[in-house]
Amino acid sequence: MSETKHKSPYAVEVRGLSRSFGPRKILADVSFQLKHGEILTIMGGSGCGKSTLLRHIIGSLKPDSGEIYIDGTETTKLDDEEFSKVRKRFGMLFQTGALFNSMTVGENVALPILESSDVAPHIADLVVKLKLELVGLTGFENLKPAQISGGMKKRVAMARALALDPDLLFCDEPTSGLDPVMTSVIDTLTVDLTRKLGMSAIVVTHDMTSAFRIATQMVFLFEGRVVATGTPEEIKANPNPILQQFINGYADGPIPLKLSKDDYLKRLLQS
């Protein structure tokens, strides 16, 4: 992919994004950039706002304030019709795979192809075969999602996300619930495909091994705020205690995972 094809040096740029649900502030002044051809991982504990952030980028949610640029186009102000044009340029791998259970694997991958243009079904079949081959699932076209394993579902979802040769790939917890081998398979696939197809990718994850394996850039969120950004080496060397506790998986530290006896008593008396 040549640089001249792009309108902006950044595939995705988020500026000062904030969002509250009722009194709870989920995202507070989040900013980061993803350069073309890079893989950025958004990390953080459960409930830190990383999936919400991704949903804002893909346009499922609208922010209270802040801007999101996809290859230089500001997407937060676009209406549904205009956004659907931008969406054609990206693929999304959902946490659960989000395959259509009533359709076969082949029909799932063919869906975006057939819906986006008047492609003849036999051409779509050919593209489906190619995409399934990319993810190592040749010959699985006629099986239903219920007949294949969790890891295979994720790979089919990846094939579907790649169906329209997107410039941008978004993955929401692509390795959650998978065994270490399958996690590694999905990671390798993400890295290989982004390199081979010249895509950029944003991967939301709380799996540190996986994040360090694939990322060229990292963003760490804590309670809706960006605590650290940088390359994997910079993140590893960052002395921030919250970040270090998360990377090393310590139970004790500044992240309030468990209330102490005193805090528990205090809260109980307050309520």
Partner 1 sequence: MLLAYAQLSLQAFASIFAPLFGQRGWRLSALFKQMVNIGVASMPTVALANFLLGIVLAMQGAGQFEKLGATDLVAALVTFSILREIGPLITAVIVIGRSGSSITAELGTMKVEEEIEALDVMGIDPVKYLVVPRLLAMLLMMPVLTVLGEGVGLFAGWLISVTSLHLDPIFYIHNATAAVEQKDLWTGLLKALMFGGVVGTVCCFYGMQVEGGAEGVGKATTKAVVTSLTAMLAMDALLTTLIYFI
Catalog residues that contact partner 1 under the rule CB under 8 A.
58-60, 84-85, 87-88, 90, 92, 94-96, 98-101, 111-112, 115-116
User: Least Å distance between CB 130 and partner 1?
Assistant: 18
Angle at 71 between CA 58 and CA 188, to 5 degrees: 65
Say how far apart CA 171 and CA 34 lie, in whole Å. Answer: 14
User: Least Å distance between CB 102 and partner 1?
Assistant: 9
Say how far apart CA 52 and CA 56 lie, in whole Å. Answer: 6
Nearer to partner 1, 35 or 88 (CB): 88
**Cβ–Cβ under 8 Å, residues 151 and 99:** no
Residue with tokens 């693929």: 91
Nearer to partner 1, 85 or 236 (CB): 85
User: Least Å distance between CB 11 and partner 1?
Assistant: 16
Nearer to partner 1, 84 or 142 (CB): 84
Nearer to partner 1, 47 or 139 (CB): 47
Nearer to partner 1, 111 or 208 (CB): 111
Q: Which long-range contacts (CB under 8 A, 24 or more apart) does 148-155 make?
A: 148/105, 150/97, 150/177, 150/178, 150/182, 151/178, 151/179, 151/182, 151/185, 151/186, 153/97, 153/99, 154/93, 154/97, 154/178, 154/182, 154/186, 155/185, 155/186, 155/189
Residue whose C-alpha is closest to residue 204's, from 231, 166, 161, 171: 171
User: Least Å distance between CB 96 and partner 1?
Assistant: 6
User: Least Å distance between CB 158 and partner 1?
Assistant: 13
User: Least Å distance between CB 115 and partner 1?
Assistant: 5
Nearer to partner 1, 67 or 107 (CB): 107
Say how far apart CA 102 and CA 90 lie, in whole Å. Answer: 24
